[in-house]
Structure 1
Amino acid sequence: WVRGTRNGDMRDSPEESPEEQDRDEGSSPSDAKPDVTWLGTPISELGRMPDCGQQLPRLKNVSGQHTVLIRTDLLQNGKVPVPYPAKFTDTWDDVHVKMPWSGMNLFPVINEVMVLEPDAAEHLFGSLLPDMVQLALRASELCTKPIPLLKGGMNHSITMSQEQVASLLANAFFCSFPRRNSRKTEYLNYPDINFFRLFEGASPKKIEKLKTLMCYFKSVTEQRPTGLVTFTRKSLDRPPNWKSSQSQLTKLHITCEGTIEDDGYGMLQVDFANQFVGGGVIGSGLVQEEIRFLINPELIVSRLFTEALGHKECLIITGTQQYSSYTGYAQSYKWGGSHQDSTPRDGWQRKCTEIVAIDALQFRSFLEQFHPARINRELNKAYCGFARPGERSQNLSAVATGNWGCGVFGGDTRLKALLQMLAAAEAGRDVAYFTFGDSQLMTDVHNMHAFLTARNISVGEVYDLLGQYYSSVCKSCLSRRPDVSLYSFIYQQVSSSLAPDASDN
């Protein structure tokens, strides 16, 4: 389980698809390779961390804003972070995670689940499973500070060590978190965290998932990880006035080859998320979001404390490490062996991998997504994920993204590409867009971007054109698709508005 080094591609999903969806998010690669594989700005000219970033402030606890679970004064590169405080603080309330080792836990599942016959464990995994047991049992000495729940409407960050994350995930593997095996509790609006659904049935997909996760546990039990990871829930208090925006489109690199996680290294990488972050990662789901959470398993711990995302919220995770490679997608997904992540670390000892979870709307009909209210929602959601108020544009990495919400969620690829370009422009970020094999989409989006850029069409003007398209084209279509496509409409309207008036002759 620790050999091989190939990678695949990604997309988004609902939390649990009844059966595995068709390959989605425009990620159906063509057998024939196109002559041109990318268009626009060379990807080498787009900003990446840490090169474009500014120096980080000192890491510290900030009441109501940032909870740090380690001794910041002892943080050193290559050294295992020291938990803070020194002794476990027992908390059992509605604003913090309820821990298995709390004295108030009435569900003594740890002792029941973790009693293992050494011979059986050796037979199954050698020393791995016993090592995972010890990692889980160390949680009370590693995670000594109460972990706040990231509830809806909050703007709050949690920074913890990779070792603390590993111990929490070991507990999730052994299904020890109390009151989390049913959604009929106070955690109704939270993702599940215990891995019990991953052990149900004998699905080949779940076998591949377990291979991927066991690769992670093998790594963290053989060598203690030394970095930090930050989870930030962000709420958008004041959405932009899209109609009046004078922002111009930023640079675009668009390609039908490559992947967000590989070619978008050092950029803000978009997780095409479910509102319950991680989607079906520990269930039956196995598409874009689930795959990313499997190869970077530290993302999974966000499910322990992140309430479902609202319409103007996102979750930003900085510092997770990729432990596995993979091939295939959905039904064809295969664990591809261990991955050596060479991503540099920032001043807080986090891997310079920043992933933003933004959930797209799911549309029952094609026309629904062009309604102004739906356009506003998707623009605000993307902008929430991309914007960093107070930071200069030159210090922001590019956004690495793709066909967000365009598979089973029903989104139109060309509309979603345009909306993300508008949100990125308003946030002051360039864009690296991966079409996952769709060369025609690559060409169409590039041509639209070049057309608008050459004519200095602002974000507000494009937004107005979207409204015109809905009112003059979509409204009269009833249930059928419009005869005039969105891009054709934009070309026609802009060209006619810029054409010389015949009366001037």
Structure 2
Amino acid sequence: MEDREDLMSILPYLPLVLRSSSLFWPPKVVEALKALSRGPDHSKVESGEVLFLAIFDIRHSLSLSLSAESLASSAADGYALFFDDLMSRAESAKWFREVVPALANLLLRFPSLLETHYQNADGLINGGMDGVKTGLRLLESQERGIVVLSQELIGALLACSFFCLFPITNRGAKHLPTINFDHLFASLYDIYNEKQENKIKCIIHYFERICSCMPPGVVSFERKVLPLERNPLRVSYLKANTWSKSIISLCRFEVYRSGLIEDQPNEALEVDFANKYIGGGALHRGCVQEEIRFMINPELIAGMLFLPSMADNEAVEIVGTERFSNYTGYGSSFRFAGDYVDKREVDYMGRRKTRIIVIDAICSPGNRQYGLECLLRREINKAFCGFFDQSKCQQYLRLFQDDGFCSAQPVQDVKDSSEMSRNNLLFNEAPTTHFATNEGILDDQLIRNFKEKSSQCLDQDEIGIATGNWGCGAFGGDPELKAIIQWLAASQALRPFISYYTFGVEALTTLDQVSEWICCHKWTVGDLWNMLVEYSSQRLTGGTKLGFLNWLVPASTSSDTMMVDRP
């Protein structure tokens, strides 16, 4: 089998057996799956209670080590509750007569699907010319790489999750999240609530859809790493000076007071307000932004199999997942609202043009979120890691090298940007900062040339950022601070726009006015970063209790004054 190294890295986390370079199910598992595939008249599996007994028997047939692993204590009760009590009789009969046999057949094909995957892997990107590995493997922390899976193979993987067939004891050591569905169903029984029932309805609907018509596309899962050490071939972790002196123009900022990120119509990276363990509480009791996205796009769950938790300098980009469900509500009010037909176009690889970027914010940061440690070494570089496209690295570096900015150092001017007060920027044009290179001071014309080139770079790639109150809500972050951090990161990453969904947060009432005012004054990334640092310092030391937007443009400054002040 090709890609043996990739297979060996993931094999301990799969329920299959490898012998003589071939993958297969143990004979007793094949026998059990064949019985299920023939329908309830043959298998006698026609209730949730009996289904879980079948699941238990299959796990026992896999291996002694797997049979010794205990599932969540209430899992059996959860399966019985959902399929025997909460499902209507008609829906239950259809599930056991049509869907369970189809899932059993899909599992029977799982070994051959995986072998075909490895045979075709590594030739998917640029015809294999770049030597990029795409095979299913464990993408460990600090290991940048990409895995490309067919939607059919993902369906088989999620069928394994539904039947709780993945080994679990060795996952914790690798910081891998839960992947079997036992806790999902156990949580339904332990503390019944409608949100949990409706999360399961989304998953069940997904299985019904793929069993009636298997989608033909592919999905890619990429671990992105921002190197902590300087690397001449890649854009690395950005230091405070880089942000402070950046003359990159701020990208277009669009504020939406209604609507949802997943419904945005543009080509954009859609931000998943993630837990460091991808998926967060999706397969437990969680039901906020990330968990909901994983329910309506269940193919995202496949990444939980092979993506360990993210470090501070890492993000995960997932392209191509299909949405299967509509929903209403949020948190405890979440409800499955029927079928969703995904009409997103596909790219040259067969991936839907749904790009989801998984970035985790600091949880419960309190007052420390205003310190430079959180601002710089964590939040803004985390967002930049997610938003920056490392495939554009050489173009990005060349943009700086051609104009001599790589070794640029600021020269003390009458109004050094680090000493500009809030009022200097509030009622004047953004400062012209002189830069020194090995050959002297860069003049305004050179700076203008740089900005023109960066604008041309933006025009070549219209994929922006669609986001909202990342790291706020349950995570406790300051929504004004997080909005500005994401704007800075998107701009520095040369993204053409950021679409920001406020979800009705009162603190962001003036976000559109203030962002428009900033853009009209032609501030750079450095200008806005320096203001954010100054504000955060005052907030940290008790110098102000105002939110950033009101601090920057005081409430006493009317919209008319703002209009007059514009150049």
Alignment-derived partner of residue 166 in structure 2: 177
Q: Do the aligned partners of residues 428 and 158 (structure 1) sit closer, same or farther apart at CA in structure 2, a change above 3 Å counting?
A: same
Compute the displacement of 1:242 (Å).
1.0
Equivalent residues in 2 for 1:414-453 (5 A)? 414-429=480-495, 430-438=497-505, 440-453=506-519
Compute the displacement of 1:397 (Å).
1.0
The amino acid that maps onto 2:533 is G
Q: Do the aligned partners of residues 107 and 226 (structure 1) sit closer, same or farther apart at CA in structure 2, a change above 3 Å counting?
A: closer
Alignment-derived partner of residue 141 in structure 2: 152
Pair 1:141-2:112 in alignment: yes
Compute the displacement of 1:437 (Å).
2.9
More helix by share: 2
- For 2:5 and 2:526, the matched residues in 1 are separated by 52
Alignment-derived partner of residue 233 in structure 1: 223
With normalisation by structure 1, the TM-score equals 0.73
Equivalent residues in 2 for 1:100-249 (5 A)? 100-103=15-18, 116=36, 117=40, 118-121=43-46, 123=93, 125=95, 126-144=97-115, 145=118, 147-178=136-167, 180=168, 182=169, 185-187=172-174, 189-200=175-186, 201-202=188-189, 203=192, 204-237=194-227, 238-240=236-238, 241-249=242-250
- For 1:318 and 1:96, the matched residues in 2 are separated by 24
- RMSD over aligned CA atoms reads 2.7
CA contact (8 A) 1:324 1:336 kept: yes
3-state DSSP class of the match of 2:220?
A: strand
Listed one character per residue, the Cα deviations across residues 134-159 of structure 1 (whole Å, up to 9, x for unaligned) are 21221101011362111111110111
The amino acid that maps onto 2:45 is A
3-state DSSP class of the match of 2:155?
A: helix
Compute the displacement of 1:90 (Å).
9.7
Listed one character per residue, the Cα deviations across residues 84-138 of structure 1 (whole Å, up to 9, x for unaligned) are 96xx969774566632112489997956985655443373613111211221221
CA contact (8 A) 2:155 2:210 kept: yes
- For 1:210 and 1:472, the matched residues in 2 are separated by 47
3-state DSSP class of the match of 2:358?
A: strand
Alignment-derived partner of residue 288 in structure 1: 289
Pair 1:98-2:84 in alignment: no
CA contact (8 A) 2:282 2:292 kept: yes
- For 2:464 and 2:6, the matched residues in 1 are separated by 40
Listed one character per residue, the Cα deviations across residues 450-488 of structure 1 (whole Å, up to 9, x for unaligned) are 2222222221122222222233342247xxxx4333223
The amino acid that maps onto 2:201 is K
Alignment-derived partner of residue 330 in structure 1: 331
Compute the displacement of 1:363 (Å).
2.5
- For 1:234 and 1:166, the matched residues in 2 are separated by 25
The amino acid that maps onto 2:499 is A
Pair 1:407-2:473 in alignment: yes
- For 1:459 and 1:350, the matched residues in 2 are separated by 33
Q: Do the aligned partners of residues 441 and 382 (structure 1) sit closer, same or farther apart at CA in structure 2, a change above 3 Å counting?
A: same
Listed one character per residue, the Cα deviations across residues 345-398 of structure 1 (whole Å, up to 9, x for unaligned) are 111111011000000111242x21110110111110111111114264221312
Q: Do the aligned partners of residues 257 and 470 (structure 1) sit closer, same or farther apart at CA in structure 2, a change above 3 Å counting?
A: closer
In the alignment, structure 1 segments of 5+ residues that lack a partner are 1-83, 496-505
Task: Select between 446-455 and 299-308 the one with higher mean Cα deviation.
Answer: 446-455
How many residues align? The count is 399
CA contact (8 A) 1:320 1:350 kept: yes
The amino acid that maps onto 1:400 is A
Q: Do the aligned partners of residues 368 and 139 (structure 1) sit closer, same or farther apart at CA in structure 2, a change above 3 Å counting?
A: same
3-state DSSP class of the match of 1:143?
A: helix
Alignment-derived partner of residue 374 in structure 2: 374
- For 1:159 and 1:433, the matched residues in 2 are separated by 29
Pair 1:263-2:264 in alignment: yes
CA contact (8 A) 2:480 2:508 kept: no
Task: Select between 102-111 and 390-399 the one with higher mean Cα deviation.
Answer: 102-111
- For 1:294 and 1:383, the matched residues in 2 are separated by 27
Task: Select between 235-244 and 391-400 the one with higher mean Cα deviation.
Answer: 391-400
- For 2:280 and 2:180, the matched residues in 1 are separated by 14
The amino acid that maps onto 1:214 is I
The amino acid that maps onto 2:206 is Y
State the identity as a percent. 33
Q: Do the aligned partners of residues 368 and 113 (structure 1) sit closer, same or farther apart at CA in structure 2, a change above 3 Å counting?
A: farther
CA contact (8 A) 2:13 2:171 kept: no
Alignment-derived partner of residue 15 in structure 1: none
Q: Do the aligned partners of residues 264 and 409 (structure 1) sit closer, same or farther apart at CA in structure 2, a change above 3 Å counting?
A: farther
Q: Do the aligned partners of residues 90 and 219 (structure 1) sit closer, same or farther apart at CA in structure 2, a change above 3 Å counting?
A: farther
CA contact (8 A) 1:90 1:102 kept: no
Alignment-derived partner of residue 540 in structure 2: 474
* Structure with bigger gyration radius: 2
- For 1:414 and 1:426, the matched residues in 2 are separated by 19
Q: Do the aligned partners of residues 470 and 206 (structure 1) sit closer, same or farther apart at CA in structure 2, a change above 3 Å counting?
A: closer
3-state DSSP class of the match of 1:194?
A: coil
Compute the displacement of 1:324 (Å).
0.7
3-state DSSP class of the match of 1:283?
A: coil
In the alignment, structure 2 segments of 5+ residues that lack a partner are 47-91, 119-134, 228-235, 396-456, 558-567
The list of structure 1 runs, each at least 4 consecutive aligned residues, that deviate by more than 4 angstroms after superposition, is 88-97, 104-117, 182-185
- For 2:25 and 2:109, the matched residues in 1 are separated by 18
The amino acid that maps onto 2:347 is D
CA contact (8 A) 1:324 1:338 kept: yes
Compute the displacement of 1:239 (Å).
2.2
